[in-house]
Amino acid sequence: MSSYPYADRFAVHRRLPEEGLARSEVLAQLHTMAAEEDAFWETGKCSGTMYCGDHEHYHFMNDAFGLFAHVNVLQRDMCPSATKFEAEIISMTLDLQHGEAAAASGGAPCGLVTTGGTGSILHAMLAYREHGAQHRGVTRPNVIKPETAHPAFDKACHLFGIELRRAPVDPVSTGVDVDWVRDHVDDQTVALVGSACNYGYGTVDPIGALSDLALERGIGLHVDGCLGGFILPFGQELGYDIPVFDYRLEGVTSISADTHKYGYAFKGSSVLSFRTKELRNAQYFYLTDWSGGKYTSPGIEGSRSGGLIAATWAAMVQFGRQGYLHYAREIFETSFAMQDAVRSHPELRMIGHPTFLFSFTSDDFDIYHVNDFMRTRGWRFNGQQYPNALHMAVTRPQTRPGVVAAFATDLADAVDYAKAHASEAPKSGAIYGGVAGGMTSEADEFIRAVMADMLDAQSVIPAG
């Protein structure tokens, strides 16, 4: 599929058009692109990414967004509504995470609203680095994450000069090896990481054991609930087998939970909560002697749009607890039905003890053959490696009538196809967020090519 399907149909703007286009013309082009792109996932055959998929809800959030999109929430004297929205988003999230348990044990639960999962993880890692330096004199900070934890931790450590130690996971359960973690904690360790759940397998790390270890060693424990933070708590309430991973465990010191995933808000919002204000406050940046005035902002970003905060708040209060419970039940039941379809094939193997997201592989053939075939039927999975596996993060579009049945039928045909082509090399391979076509080049070259494809190819200035 071309990355530039519109190049032949709409003008390519390599420089600003001399005269602006009519609004109606601009909107007509946007409507065409949006409708075609929505059709891709509206089939219900796309893993993750479209967590809600309800256009009525999107219209509602667009109304909320539009009222505040032009507002800069850095100027709070002009928009006290942003203070209400932000504080309530944090408070409602802390409630789901049993913030009251943190308060009862002497904490002062609090949070930040960030721009997404990566944003929350960046702020958390920065807070641990700064807190370690301020309170323990740590000069060479390190963090220990399960190998399965999201690359945003690697990115944060890279950006902030933190050493990242990657702990192995149990190959069957996919939970982190806590003994390994214990053996690698030292006096420069500022935090441990556990996922609830991880992106790859939808499994939850042994957070209870990590919490005990963090308490024993007097260090932080960040729980990455970016993906699970707005669905696993409802799954627990519905009685599904999901271990405790929140502030009820005394060693848990921060949690990331993405409103822009199962919170059904627009992309660009997430909540990072902390057990104590001392930890959150450690990451503040301020400059008091600048000629432009005394400067401070709550996080890494400067100006932020009020639209996202308003729309996120609107989504949360409009669904309410019962709304989230309702959709969580539908998603879990759909995931379990799809997992049954996978388990009905002896050639396929489910990995770990999954939740709303499951991952499967095969010991008989390369699972990417299954992917190759499923693509011809419109399915888009996320591809994994070590071992090669496919994952399906079940979202609301899959809960629509007929999708599970189509999955079962297509999967059966895909297994037949994989068996027939087992001796050949599959066409697809592992890439985050989607499944790439044949990946033939070396990593560095590949990354540059993918980025150039996204960013440079239509530029008037030749790509360097």
Ligand X SMILES: Cc1ncc(COP(=O)(O)O)c(C=O)c1O
Give the residue with the Cβ less far from ligand X, 227 or 415.
227
227 part of the interface to ligand X, by CB under 6 A: yes
Among 46, 90, 169, 226, contact with ligand X (rule: CB under 6 A)? 226
157 part of the interface to ligand X, by CB under 6 A: no
- Residue 154 CB, nearest distance to ligand X (Å)? 11
Please state whether beta strands 434-436 and 389-393 pair in parallel, antiparallel, or not at all (unpaired).
unpaired
Find out whether the peptide bond into 426 is cis, omega within 30 degrees of 0. Answer: no
Please state whether beta strands 348-350 and 110-114 pair in parallel, antiparallel, or not at all (unpaired).
unpaired
Give the residue with the Cβ less far from ligand X, 229 or 307.
229
Per-residue binding string, ligand X, 134-153, x by CB under 6 A, is ----------------x-x-
- Residue 252 CB, nearest distance to ligand X (Å)? 16
Give the residue with the Cβ less far from ligand X, 265 or 342.
265
- Residue 2 CB, nearest distance to ligand X (Å)? 25
Among 44, 117, 146, 251, contact with ligand X (rule: CB under 6 A)? 117
Residues 64-103 that bind ligand X (CB under 6 A): none
Give the residue with the Cβ less far from ligand X, 201 or 274.
201
Among 47, 93, 118, 211, contact with ligand X (rule: CB under 6 A)? 118
46 part of the interface to ligand X, by CB under 6 A: no
Per CB under 6 A, the segment of 113-121, 138-146, 205-213, 282-290 that binds ligand X is 113-121
Give the residue with the Cβ less far from ligand X, 144 or 411.
144
Per-residue binding string, ligand X, 233-272, x by CB under 6 A, is -------------------------x--------------
Per-residue binding string, ligand X, 165-204, x by CB under 6 A, is ------------------------------x--xx-----
Query: What is the C-alpha to C-alpha distance for residues 25 and 31, in angstroms, rounded to an integer?
Result: 10
Among 86, 205, 224, 366, contact with ligand X (rule: CB under 6 A)? 224
Angle at the Cα of 165 from the Cα atoms of 284 and 435, rounded to 5 degrees: 95
Number of residues that bind ligand X (CB under 6 A): 12
Give the residue with the Cβ less far from ligand X, 199 or 360.
199
List interacting residues with ligand X (CB under 6 A): 116-118, 150, 152, 195, 198-199, 224, 226-227, 258
